[in-house]
Each structure stands twice: as structure tokens, then as C-alpha cells.
Amino acid sequence: MTVRTAHQHRETKETTVDVTLVVDGSGQASAATGIPFFDHMLEQLGKHGGFDLTVVAHGDLEVDTHHTVEDVGIVLGTVLKHALGDKVGVRRFADALVPLDEALVQVALDLSGRPFIVYEVDPVAEWVGTFDPQLCEEFWRAFAFGAGITLHIRSVAGVNGHHVIEASFKAVARALRDAVRIEGSGVPSTKGTL
């Protein structure tokens, strides 16, 4: 079996981002972005996705956290796309419904090659630590477009911002874990490509 892994270094005037991903990993994840809550969420994504994931980012945090969060999304999505290659044998479609105490988040995704996002999550809280919950949508949009996937995220219930956001990261992780699973020998598309 081919090892599905990729690394990317991206540098702009606003950020420097390095991401390494092993799709068929053991859930070993570490993140260092200078935004502690965001690091925690990225580690949840790796752990519950079953990915070995390393994220290191340096951004203009003195300006805002927006550039760092968005650019990590772009790079992480691109790395996933490269690691999956031609997607031969992948399950392709997956969904997850994940609770965290009072919060419940539903995710459905398709490794379609066509980037699209539907994000129906009320941020609930104004801030979680030094993290602006509004940036979750920016992160997931950047990720979906970088990866070339269709991604739906919907909050079903929740009043605690930390719980809602964490449930969303875990739900995407679980859906990705299922979607990337090899279960066949061909490309799961009548077009012959994804």
C-alpha cells in the first residue's frame, strides 16, 4: 500500500506555515501556531481523524489571528489533497454526528474535487481564550477549497462556544477518517476521476 503523506511550506508577508500529514497515521498530532485554542483544535483534528499531523505557523498575530488561521486552513487542505493523490479506492462520502456535552454538530463531506462549503454554526461565544470563533468559518472554507472537497458543517445544539467549536473539529475529523478509508480499487466516480 502506498503511504499517503504530504508536506507543504508556504510563506507570505503575513505568515509562514509548515504542515506535514500522514493520512494513515496513529493520531499523533502537534500544532504550534501561537494561538493556543486553535492548536488544541488542530490536535483534535489529527487525533480523531487518525492522522499524524504536524502544524507549525508563525503569523502577524500583532495584527490579528485571521491571517494565521486562514493560511493554516489553506495549507492543511492542500496537503490533504496531495496526500490523497488520485483517490483510488477511497470511500469518498462520509458523515458524522458528534456530541460534546450539550453541543451537537453534524458534518457531511465528499472528496469530490469540487470545493464547496455550507457552514451553519453559530459561534455562540465572542471569544474562546485568544481565539475569535468567527474564524472557524474562514478556516473551514480555506481548508475545503485547498483540499477540493465539499464540506457541510451544521450545529444542531449547543450553548458553550468551546464545546460547539470542538465538536465541529471532531466531527470533521471523524467524517474525514471515514471518507479517506480505502474500500475499493477504483476511483469512486462515474467520471473516472475526482
Residue 101 inside a domain? The answer is yes
Query: Quick one: cell of 46?
Result: 489529527
pLDDT number for residue 124: 85
Residue 125 inside a domain? The answer is yes
pLDDT number for residue 68: 98
Count of beta carbons in the 10 Å neighbourhood of residue 113:
15
13 Cβ contact partners less than 8 Å away, ≥ 6 residues apart: none
pLDDT number for residue 1: 62
Residue 184 inside a domain? The answer is no
Query: Quick one: cell of 40?
Result: 488544541
Residue type, 40: H
Distance, CA of 176 to chain centre:
8
Q: Domain containing 65 — which CATH number?
A: 3.30.230.40
Residue 187 inside a domain? The answer is no
Residue 185 inside a domain? The answer is no
Ramachandran sector of residue 30 (left: φ over 0; alpha: ψ -120 to 50; beta: rest): beta
d(C-alpha 171, C-alpha 16), whole Å: 27
Residue 155 inside a domain? The answer is yes
**Per residue in 38-53, pLDDT tens?**
999 999 999 999 999 9
69 Cβ contact partners less than 8 Å away, ≥ 6 residues apart: 33, 35, 38, 135, 138, 139
Residue 192 inside a domain? The answer is no
Residue 120 inside a domain? The answer is yes
Provide the domain count of the chain. 1
156 Cβ contact partners less than 8 Å away, ≥ 6 residues apart: 97, 104, 105, 106
Range of the domain at 19: 5-179
Q: Check pLDDT > 90 for residue 194.
A: yes
pTM > 0.85: yes
pLDDT number for residue 2: 82
**Per residue in 82-102, pLDDT tens?**
999 999 999 999 999 999 999
% of the chain surpassing 90 pLDDT: 95
Nearest-5° Cα angle at 115, 53 to 29: 10
Nearest-5° Cα angle at 50, 49 to 53: 85
Q: Environment class of residue 62 by beta-carbon count within 10 Å: exposed (0-12), middle (13-18) or buried (19+)?
A: exposed
**Per residue in 106-158, pLDDT tens?**
999 999 999 999 999 998 888 999 999 999 999 999 999 999 999 999 999 99
% of the chain surpassing 70 pLDDT: 99
Q: Terminus-to-terminus CA distance in the chain, angstroms?
A: 20
